[in-house]
Amino acid sequence: MTDRTAEHVDGDFELTSWDENPAQDLEGTVKVATARIAQRITGGIQAETVADMVVTYRPDGTAEYVGHHRVLRRLRGRSGSFVLRANGTFDGTEARTEFER
User: Sign of the CA dihedral 68, 93, 91, 21?
Assistant: negative
Per the domain annotation, does 2 fall within a domain? no
Task: Give bridge partners of residue 69 from the DSSP assignment.
Answer: 51, 84
Tell me: pLDDT of 96 over 50: yes
Domain assignment present for residue 30? The answer is yes
- pTM value? 0.75
Is residue 1 scored above 50 in pLDDT? no
Number of domains in the chain: 1
Which is higher by pLDDT, 45 or 66? Answer: 66
The CATH number that applies at residue 64 is: 2.40.350.10
Q: Please report whether residue 62 resides in a domain.
A: yes
Which structural domain range is residue 54 located in? 11-100
